[in-house]
Amino acid sequence: MKVPTTTRFSFRLSNKNHEWPQISVIIIVSLGSLTAAVLFAWPSPSIPQLIFNGSETVNISLEEASYFAVIPPLGSLLASPLVAILMDSIGRKKTILFMSVSHIIAWLLIFFSKCLWVFYVSRIFSGISDAVLFGVIPAYIGEITASHVRGTWGNLNTIFLYIGQFLINVVGAYFSVKTTALFFFIFPITHIILFTFAPESPYYLLVNNKNKEAEESLKLLRWNNNVQEELDLITKAVQRQISESSTLKDLIIIPTNRKALFISIGLRMSQILSGLPAFAVYTQYIFSLSAANLPASTCAIVYTGLFFLMSSTCSFFVDKLSRKWLMIFSSFGCTIALLIESMYFYFILQTNVHLTSYNWIPLAGMSLYIIMFSLGLGILPNLLLSELFSASIKGKATSVVNIIFFLCIIIVPKLFQLLSSNFGMYVPFFVFFCCTCCSTLFSYYFVPETKGKTLEEIQQMLTKKNKIHVAQNSTN
């Protein structure tokens, strides 16, 4: 006879809320993010080996390797609508587990690959998992955490992305493509085993009228036997949200949804158009053209390592500072760093000015970019996207946002390659500089302040602002 969940856990749980269960679940779910980042940045150390290393079973050209950056977001683009359906039908938890299955397939294909097309298929599975990474994980983290935990620890998912970029550059610099694949194969296996024991989102369970399961989930997440008060608040919020129409058309028609959609798209575009995906894929390539004293692989390790350290440090201060002003400051700081890079490469490629004594500038400029990006652009969009949409419309909203997001990821690395190959490295850096200028203005005028607010309070804030806007228009 199956023992009720309440009986199994009631004697262990306390009578007050605890943070550590929520933090533990965030860490476990972020293991999937780490593997996704490793696969996305995999071309950085792997392309040089596949092009120049005769010991590898597959030798490819630079043109063939350039599609490693294009294929994953294409797979993500096609998978996003399916992922949106899955997160609302089978649940957040099972959809996230599906992500790790895609990771396992991707690593197996890399390990056994003996031709270029197998690598391409592997990149497709990597892209499918990214649709879950950016569409489901932020929603799941937002729904399982209390507001103060979400503000401090909700960025851990983003930190693991930068850990993944760092690890692939370190491991890939010293081991072959096949050995690297075998090493990272362990991570999705571990993720599946651990995440199997994680609770489902109480929001999802309430939306699907699984009230008892939602209560048990909340008890585990708070490690508290008495969660009735919070459960009642969440139930009321969910009832209000599911009473609203939740079609794709409602994303545009309903003012609150429209505003949240506009902000979400702007945040994602700000993040990607700053050049991040291009820098992740072509890290070693950029430093190989900078005439720096350090090897390109060493510069890439320093770059990604600093990225990880800065994002880890900054994430714990997000809940103590204004999120809106962090976005503004971060975007403005990135404009300065990108302008420095653009000017350096312009003088190197287009003038006779000797900058031998200043070949430290590219690494310094990219380090400044990392610091500024980590303060806001690198960590806040994921956090804000978990907060802006109601539970009833979240799946469809993230699907639309991700389609635009992945289109940008397709465009940016290819744009970087085309501009740098045909006009010089300074041109893409200048384009990214212009984009971050626009991001600064967008953050100032449109990004809301969500610090310390519950998901329901954020929804009420967006609704209130829309009502004020309508009232002002009526008066005018």
User: What is the per-residue pLDDT for 5?
Assistant: 42
The pTM of this model reads 0.73
| Highest averaged pLDDT of the listed ranges 63-77, 417-431, 443-457 | 417-431
The region of weakest confidence among 35-49, 108-122, 143-157, 333-347 is 143-157
pLDDT band at residue 9 under the 50/70/90 scheme: very low
Residue showing tokens 């999937």: 32
d(CA 399, CA 175): 37
Contact yes or no for 26/157 (Cβ under 8 A): yes
Greater pLDDT, 384 or 119: 119
Greater pLDDT, 394 or 49: 49
d(CA 183, CA 53): 20
pLDDT band at residue 56 under the 50/70/90 scheme: low
Contact yes or no for 395/87 (Cβ under 8 A): yes
Residue 25 in this model has a pLDDT that exceeds 90: yes
Contact yes or no for 325/451 (Cβ under 8 A): no
For the chain, what are the domain ranges?
14-198+244-470
User: What is the per-residue pLDDT for 291?
Assistant: 58
Contact yes or no for 221/22 (Cβ under 8 A): yes
User: What is the per-residue pLDDT for 3?
Assistant: 39
Greater pLDDT, 462 or 23: 23
d(CA 92, CA 390): 15
pLDDT band at residue 213 under the 50/70/90 scheme: very high
User: What is the per-residue pLDDT for 4?
Assistant: 40
pLDDT band at residue 402 under the 50/70/90 scheme: confident
Task: Kindly state the average pLDDT of the residues 155-171.
Answer: 85
Task: Kindly state the average pLDDT of the residues 7-20.
Answer: 66
Amino acid at 47: I
Q: How many residues does the chain have?
A: 476
Q: pLDDT of 288-300, one tens digit each? A: 766 566 777 788 8
pLDDT band at residue 188 under the 50/70/90 scheme: very high
**DSSP code at position 224:** B
Greater pLDDT, 312 or 455: 312
Greater pLDDT, 416 or 250: 416
Q: What is the mean pLDDT of the chain?
A: 83
Amino acid at 379: I
Residue 303 in this model has a pLDDT that exceeds 90: no
User: What is the per-residue pLDDT for 190?
Assistant: 95
pLDDT band at residue 145 under the 50/70/90 scheme: confident
Contact yes or no for 83/93 (Cβ under 8 A): no
Question: What kind of fold does domain 14-198+244-470 have according to CATH?
Answer: Growth Hormone; Chain: A; (1.20.1250)
d(CA 135, CA 142): 12
